[in-house]
Copies of this chain bind each other. A is one copy, B any other.
Amino acid sequence: MTSPEAREEAVLEAVRKRRELVNDAIPEELPIKRPERLYEASRYLLDAGGKRLRPAVLLTTAEALADVEPLSATYRSFPALDDSGPIDVMAAAVSVEVIQSFTLIHDDIMDDDDLRRGVPAVHEEYDLETAILAGDTLYSKAFEIMLETGAEPDRIVEALDVLATTCTKICEGQSLDVTFEERIDVSPDEYLEMVEQKTAVLYAASACLPAILLGADDETIDALYGYGLDIGRAFQIQDDVLDLTVPSEQLGKQRGSDLVENKQTLITVHAREQGVDVDGLVDTDDVDAVTEAEIDDAVAELEAAGSISYANETARDLVEQGKNRLEVVPDNEARELLCELADYLIQRGY
């Protein structure tokens, strides 16, 4: 039996190795070409970093399905589950990361966030026009890239259907998120529905796309979609918890900024139901003016209401549910890694 530390080290190493391959593939799929300023702006956030968790899920799911040793098969020319030709699952992984990057660029404009991944947001580094256009370019590029996996036409059609409906749901989720900021009666179920649309669907797409492209059956595709939805929701809940519990330096932004900016999280939604005056927890709505002591007091009150435990438990339940869905996949090292990836999403410290 390996120790929890050794297991976490192993999953981090697995994510890191796939990240390096994804980082190599991004400029191949999205070269800087004329008009250069547009493509530089489109690449800016992608090049600034990111854990590449969604591509890691996609690539590892492909390995689990094909029942190959992790990192033993070439992602650019990956074995399908039947006699059809080799599949470029790396293109699919880059496509998903490109969608993620497009949504971040547009979200930062909408939320008026100046910083992302420790660098200025695209609309700050360039300008509003360029940021809108860079996001729009990434949007269509993601479809172009997904068209190049070499899969059978009917599987490409199904993959593009998943990609398009995923993008629509992300927009719907973002729209719900905006309307939630003005409401005080959002229920935990409503919150989780919003998170499913805004965040979890892209994890769901990442998990089911290799199944579609490699030719798995519908039961497997559906189960993997469910796995992605579960771990994606858990991922967002963990983000909400980390915003309150991780020191600002480590977080890269002010701890408790969600509270200051009146963002709904599973924690605040639960606390309201427990009768906590959430809007009164922090007096200011300026992240630069809030003190660590104020955040400490707010966190203490949320802990007393059981809201942070509630969020942690919900995330843990979702991860367990997600892992159980993997039973349709061959029992192998890559499947084990998908379970560890799920655990990592809620154990990570930032």
Contact = CB atoms under 8 A, between A and B. Distances in A.
Interface string A21-43: 00000000000001101100000
Interface stretch (A1-9, A138-146, A247-255, A287-295): A138-146
Main secondary structure on chain A at its contact with chain B? Answer: helix
A163 B166 CA distance: 18
A115 interface: no
Q: How many copies does the complex hold?
A: 2
Contact of A164 (B35, B128, B147, B157): B147
A82 to B, nearest CB: 16
Interface in A125-145: 128-130, 132-133, 135-137, 139-141, 143-144
A171 B38 contact: yes
B147 A168 contact: no
A165 B136 CA distance: 12
A312 to B, nearest CB: 29
Interface of A: 34-35, 37-38, 106, 109-110, 128-130, 132-133, 135-137, 139-141, 143-144, 147, 152-154, 156-157, 160-161, 163-168, 171-172, 174-176, 178-179
* Top 5 closest pairs, chain A to chain B, by CB: A140-B167, A153-B153, A143-B164, A38-B175, A153-B154
